[in-house]
Amino acid sequence: MISDPESVEKALKKMPEGPGKEDIQRRLEYQKEVDYAFELIKIAEEDLESSKILFENKKYPNSVSSFQQSVEKSTKALFLLNEILKSQELKEKVGHFPSKKHLEDIKANLKKTINLKEAIKNNPKLKEIPMIKKLNLEDYQKKVIEAEGIIKSVSEKGKIYSDNLEILDQNLSEMDKVLLNAETFEAKKLDKLTEEELANEWISNIKAFSKIKREEGIGISEQEEKEALNVTGEFLRHIALRHAESMVYGGTSHAVSSTLNFFIEPHFNFSRYPGKKNPLEYYTLENPLVKRLQKLIEIQKRNLKIHKKYLEFIKNSYADIKIED
């Protein structure tokens, strides 16, 4: 068996053209992006350690600068893991300001929400699907619009939310809760009842969707569906667990990283160059960001551990390629 990228590329040259070869080529490219993301996370850990040491030595502007770099690199790693961008696009499409990409994602999610609301309006039967039934699209759309406005105020208007200690503390508390949920999650330790619930949710969605299709004269019969679900029950449990793991680790990484960027991104320039704010005078212990920097460093340290769990999940699930030699 061979699995390193160089050996896979050699083996690919001997393979006949076709869907199998195309799939391996795609996965090989993704594996390279995952490997690059891993390197970014390692550098982000070094930047964070530098930030901690500089803070302890009262070099506050440099500590803020290193912290910003850690958050930026770990966020870029997340873009690669989620196939939002490729490594060669990071400089051109993100640079030092990941919120540009967060804003694009928010706009895309808003569009999806509007499209789904329109689809339900045109076909009310879609509400019978449990996954859709439990969605509060109006509330979600409101939150997405609010998030869009906040990120725009940072990326386009240069608003500095880190100057507000109350907002900082509120978000530190929220990030702590989200991280704690991910830290205590362990897919392998879920009890059988939880596994069954996860699988049943998927089965319910499949049944509801199949019913709609049958009523439209499309899809398999009820008996065929029952037989198929009996055969794939174990597989569905496996998929449900993997989906839960992906949502916990990936969702946490995304939520915490986007929040950290929201506070730290403007400091890419502030902490480096004298301008309207002189870094040596601005970053004192009176500055709200500096007051909470130790807590932010701890949050990012925990965030990076979740990044690594998410990366390991991806490698185990999708990224590693093995070809019979």
Domain count, the chain: 2
Of the three residues 241, 264, 287, the one that is the final residue of a domain is 264
Is it the case that residue 50 has pLDDT exceeding 70?
Answer: yes
Please tell me the predicted confidence (pLDDT) of residue 324. Answer: 47
Please tell me the predicted confidence (pLDDT) of residue 9. Answer: 56
Is it the case that residue 285 has pLDDT exceeding 60?
Answer: yes
Count of beta carbons in the 10 Å neighbourhood of residue 251: 15
Per-residue CA distances from 208 to 66, 172, 212, 213 (Å):
51, 40, 6, 9
- Residues 174 and 260 occupy one common structural domain: yes
Is residue 199 included in any domain, yes or no? yes
- Residues 124 and 139 occupy one common structural domain: yes
- Residues 155 and 169 occupy one common structural domain: no
Separation between Cα atoms, residue 160 and residue 240, nearest integer Å: 40
Q: Quickly state the pLDDT bin for 270 (edges 50, 70, 90).
A: confident
- Residues 190 and 108 occupy one common structural domain: no
Separation between Cα atoms, residue 57 and residue 51, nearest integer Å: 10
Q: What is the mean pLDDT of residues 134-142?
A: 76
Separation between Cα atoms, residue 285 and residue 292, nearest integer Å: 9
Is residue 1 included in any domain, yes or no? no
78: DSSP letter: H
- Residues 104 and 150 occupy one common structural domain: yes
- The residues, ordered by sequence, that sit 6+ positions from 296 with a Cβ below 8 Å of its Cβ are 67, 172, 260, 263, 264, 289
Q: Quickly state the pLDDT bin for 63 (edges 50, 70, 90).
A: very high
| Structure tokens belonging to residue 250 | 């990936």
Q: Quickly state the pLDDT bin for 115 (edges 50, 70, 90).
A: confident
- Residues 180 and 237 occupy one common structural domain: yes
Q: Helix or strand or coil: residue 2?
A: strand
Separation between Cα atoms, residue 293 and residue 291, nearest integer Å: 6
Lowest mean pLDDT among 20-29, 90-99, 157-166, 179-188: 20-29
Is residue 154 included in any domain, yes or no? yes
C-alpha gyration radius of the chain: 23
How many angstroms from the chain centroid is the CA of residue 270?
27
- Tell me which residue range forms the domain holding 248: 161-264
Counting beta carbons within 10 angstroms of the beta carbon of residue 134, is it exposed (0 to 12), middle (13 to 18) or buried (19 or more)?
Answer: exposed
Average pLDDT score, the chain: 80
Count of beta carbons in the 10 Å neighbourhood of residue 161: 17
| Structure tokens belonging to residue 322 | 């093995």
Per the listing, tokens 């068996």 go with 1
Backbone angles phi, psi at 164, to 5 degrees: -105, 105
- Residues 172 and 217 occupy one common structural domain: yes
Please tell me the predicted confidence (pLDDT) of residue 17. Answer: 60
- Residues 123 and 140 occupy one common structural domain: yes
How many angstroms from the chain centroid is the CA of residue 217?
38
Is it the case that residue 86 has pLDDT exceeding 80?
Answer: yes
From 209, 199, 221, select the one nearest 128 (Cα to Cα).
209
Is residue 82 included in any domain, yes or no? no
Is residue 298 included in any domain, yes or no? no
| Structure tokens belonging to residue 181 | 């949920």
- Residues 147 and 117 occupy one common structural domain: yes
- Residues 108 and 138 occupy one common structural domain: yes
Of the three residues 264, 279, 295, the one that is the final residue of a domain is 264
Is residue 62 included in any domain, yes or no? no
Choose between 111 and 46: higher pLDDT. 46
Q: What is the mean pLDDT of residues 251-261?
A: 91
Separation between Cα atoms, residue 88 and residue 66, nearest integer Å: 23
Please tell me the predicted confidence (pLDDT) of residue 30. Answer: 83
Across 111-194, the runs of DSSP E, i.e. the strands, are none
Separation between Cα atoms, residue 288 and residue 290, nearest integer Å: 5
276: DSSP letter: S
Q: What is the mean pLDDT of residues 179-198?
A: 73
Is it the case that residue 13 has pLDDT exceeding 70?
Answer: no
Separation between Cα atoms, residue 31 and residue 159, nearest integer Å: 38
Is residue 3 included in any domain, yes or no? no
- Residues 229 and 165 occupy one common structural domain: yes
Of the three residues 264, 291, 306, the one that is the final residue of a domain is 264
Residue type, 242: R
Is residue 129 included in any domain, yes or no? yes
Lowest mean pLDDT among 174-188, 211-225, 302-316: 211-225
- Residues 116 and 210 occupy one common structural domain: no
